[in-house]
Structure 1
């Protein structure tokens, strides 16, 4: 690239622009503030050239040469300003044809730093094993969990080069699918390396990320999920919330499915601590996964557990920090913004008063609705739970937790699934403690296998997806 190449005539030109969420504020004669989602950068003593640079970068990619007019000292000063902007600065690479850039690197971290350097001759290069290619708003993008940039591939040549990097090879051996000048291909690869979505091999041909003892612990999808659900993402927020695409927020409870209904007993109110251990005693007692028994649950036990752990206590309007209102419910377990997107399904094998079947729990009316009366269905799910629990007997019942993603995604966008998993843990902990207080056993097990659970629950995936399970048993 022109900033680091030894060629007298660079094959490409670097351009810079401000990210879409960045604003430049300040008086014409006073200090300037560059404001983005990461915070503010104060530029005191900004002269006319710096102000012109910021003004032009607000409209799109510009080259420093067009601002500095061939003056090396001015260009050096502007380079210093660019280094201060960090996470507010979009880096682009273009040809000398005045057309749109080949590709751009959009910052996804406040500490983003774009450091380009020539690739040592003969070293293999490839996409990081954690990198993904996907479409965002009509463009192909490349991102990786550890990268501080998301790379947008604007032109077909950049796309072909990125695709060719799926196979390790030195730059001069890359085959981007159609004739392309080697210097241009080299500059594109160098740009992708600077954005940390492409890695350079060691002299022995191996790649450091394949040998890293920490990175080897992570599967691609797990590391990607972790970083994208926490902070490093450049995708737009929930479209439903931004555009008002939903005529109304999703309902507090899932509409009751068709099927035979079985009202559940409600436990009698009892004084605190009556005939039950205290919360402290429950928390301080030994935790374990007892052997599954051949005992039968009672309808009173099942009804009492669901009532005390997951029923709807009340429904009332709530207001988000954005000013948006929605109907919220109060239930015994923790849930962010009182959205309560989780649903409970009960696979019954042995429960007095209930036929063997799969049921949906209505937390508003405290009723079970039979959703799958095929007697083989609960057996399949209970067998899966038996294996997951390391037992030799089927448990009497299995609670499967699902998430209505629309209920949570319209607010949390890209963090919706991570938020749902937080809620799953809260509900599982509540079920565990309440069951223990009642002389029951409820412990989490991983059950799902190749979509079997979603199919037998007869839910509409991915609008509603299974996210957790609890095996239910009696302690005698």
Structure 2
């Protein structure tokens, strides 16, 4: 780091003095040149007005200069004890590290800079909040620096050497923390090249729905308690065009129940080919009954709950099953809602272009191997879960969907049916067919169900 490097003007401040002293004492213990009083003096300076990086480096001069400076910054940042800022008459930029993954490169990039593909901005008073999908730090930039970031987002980026000193300090500070990268690169932040395979939305979802790199509330916060009632435990069955009472299938239920769980798990396969003799209504009825019927209801001070064959995070049971019948003996073609309490099917939509497209999508998602006899479209009532959980609501619903798919597989195997989960589906198309609102209920997964070809022999 040269004497006149803009990054040296960044200001470092700490909080939780005692915790900082303990942390730095451990760090300094690895360097025999330090005095026992060094961590105390350093924390006192950092907590009362702060130090610029240049001042910190000078203070570290008798210990190991720049490398120890770097270690001090990253150690304090990893424990969320540090604030890094830049000023020029007024605050221009602030960074608050918050995870062990925080990295801060003291050697600034000597090239044009652009915004990392993992960086995003949110509105904030006087400027904007700056975030990264990595979840290692968050910050604030003034309107002046925000304008520079907009310029940096262009293909050619910006050259820090062409900026005023205070602007250089802010830009190099953001680059040091990975918010900006070399123009013309793949947009991966320095120190994160091993994550080049990550896409923006996937990495953001991963870091924000797990502990460690998220900020704010996460978990069962009941954030809407007292503001609005939770969605009911059971969705009121739609009126529909007709109601199909599902027949009892005692022989099939006996067949499934006589098998051990381990034998079912061992026999389970993803089967993407259906037999010439289609699945029939009795088999479909047995499948739905064993996999996802409502077994009971309970009212508690925390709300109403249902009991079903599969486990569910928080006991919300927000998932709804829609049955697209393409070729099921005894059941007309169309899209049906499964009434899990009454164990019947409500016809919502007769064959249409959107209905047929469900099977086209399923065929494509199966690798072009199968037009399913029956397609089970699983939707989630989002508010049933988000009323209780903050920061992890949608992640919980996807986990619940995965559990239901596992149950589908086991029941299909027990009934000697062909089952296969699909990786893609069209949520908007399902909304059009069911008449539901995209933001209140939406498709989260699909499952193909049909007869097995070998069963014909």
Comparing 182-191 and 269-278, the one that deviates more: 269-278
What secondary structure sits across from 1:188 in the alignment?
helix
Note closer, same or farther for the CA distance 1:245–1:84 as it changes in structure 2 (3 Å cut). Answer: farther
> Which aligned pairs between 1:4-15 and structure 2 lie closer than 5 A?
6-7=3-4, 14-15=11-12
SS at match of 2:114: strand
Give the C-alpha shift of residue 150 in structure 1. Answer: 1.8
Secondary structure, counterpart of 2:445 in structure 1: strand
How far apart are the structure 2 equivalents of 1:174 and 1:89?
Answer: 31
Could you tell which deviates more after superposition, 459-468 or 233-242?
233-242
> Quick one: distance in 2 between partners of 1:344 and 1:437?
20
Paired residues for 1:204-215 under 5 Å: 206=185, 209=188, 214-215=194-195
Counterpart for residue 119 of structure 1: 109
Query: Does structure 1 retain, via aligned residues, the 8 Å contact 2:116–2:187?
Result: no
What is residue 385 of structure 1 aligned with on the other side?
362
1:151 is the counterpart of 2:128: no
Asked if 1:285 corresponds to 2:262, the answer is no
Q: 1:187 aligns with which of 153, 169, 174?
A: 169
Q: CA deviation at 1:116?
A: 3.5
On the 8 A contact 2:320/2:379 being kept in 1, the answer is yes
Q: Distance in 1 between matches of 2:253 and 2:332?
A: 33
8 Å Cα contact 1:292-1:391 kept in structure 2:
no
Taking a change above 3 Å as real, the CA distance of residues 383 and 172 of structure 1, as seen in their structure-2 partners, is closer
RMSD: 4.2
Note if contact 2:233-2:316 (Cα within 8 Å) is conserved in structure 1. yes
Higher relative contact order (CA 8 A, sep 6+): 2
Give yes or no for contact 1:293–1:474 (8 Å, CA) kept in 2: yes
Equivalent residue number for residue 166 of structure 1: 153
Deviations 1:348-380 (A, max 9, x none): 123344332211122222222222235444322
Displacement of 1:117: 3.5
User: What SS is found at the alignment partner of 1:351?
Assistant: coil
Cα 1:460–1:138 change in 2 (3 A) is farther
Farther-moved stretch of structure 1 (298-307 vs 409-418): 409-418
The aligned residue for residue 34 of structure 2 is none
- Tell me which residue corresponds to 2:32: none
Compared CA separation, residues 106 and 468, structure 1 to 2 (3 A) = same
1:29 aligns with: none
1:247 Cα deviation from its structure 2 partner: 2.6
State yes or no: 1:406 paired with 2:393.
Answer: no
Give SS of 1:88's match: coil
Comparing both structures, which one devotes a greater share of its residues to helix?
Answer: 2
**Does 1:91 find its partner at 2:91?**
no
Distance 1:330 1:351, change over 3 A: same
The separation in 2 between residues aligned to 1:9 and 1:385, in whole angstroms, is 56
Find the aligned partners of 1:199 and 1:51 in 2 and give their Cα distance. 34
SS in 2 for 1:190: helix
List runs of 5+ in structure 2 lacking aligned partners.
27-36, 64-68
Relative to structure 1, the CA distance from residue 150 to residue 360 in structure 2 (aligned partners, 3 Å threshold; closer, same or farther) is: same
Tell me how far apart the structure 2 counterparts of residues 74 and 6 of structure 1 sit (CA, whole Å): 15
What's the TM-score once normalised by structure 1's chain length?
Answer: 0.75
> 197, 206, 209: which one pairs with 1:217?
197
SS in 2 for 1:365: coil
In structure 1, what is the Cα distance between the partners aligned to 2:118 and 2:391?
19
Unaligned ranges ≥5, structure 1: 19-23, 26-31, 35-39, 57-61, 176-180, 320-324
TM normalised by structure 2 equals 0.78
8 Å Cα contact 1:372/1:458 also seen in 2: no
Question: Which residue is equivalent to 1:296?
Answer: 278
Q: 1:470 Cα deviation (Å)?
A: 0.5
Say if 1:184 and 1:169 are closer, same or farther in 2 by CA, change over 3 A: farther
What CA distance in whole angstroms lies between the structure 2 residues aligned with 1:427 and 1:138? 47
Question: For structure 1, which segment, 245-254 or 230-239, has the greater mean C-alpha deviation from structure 2 after superposition?
Answer: 230-239
Q: 1:248 to 1:53 in 2, by over 3 A?
A: farther
Deviation at 1:451, TM superposition (A): 2.9
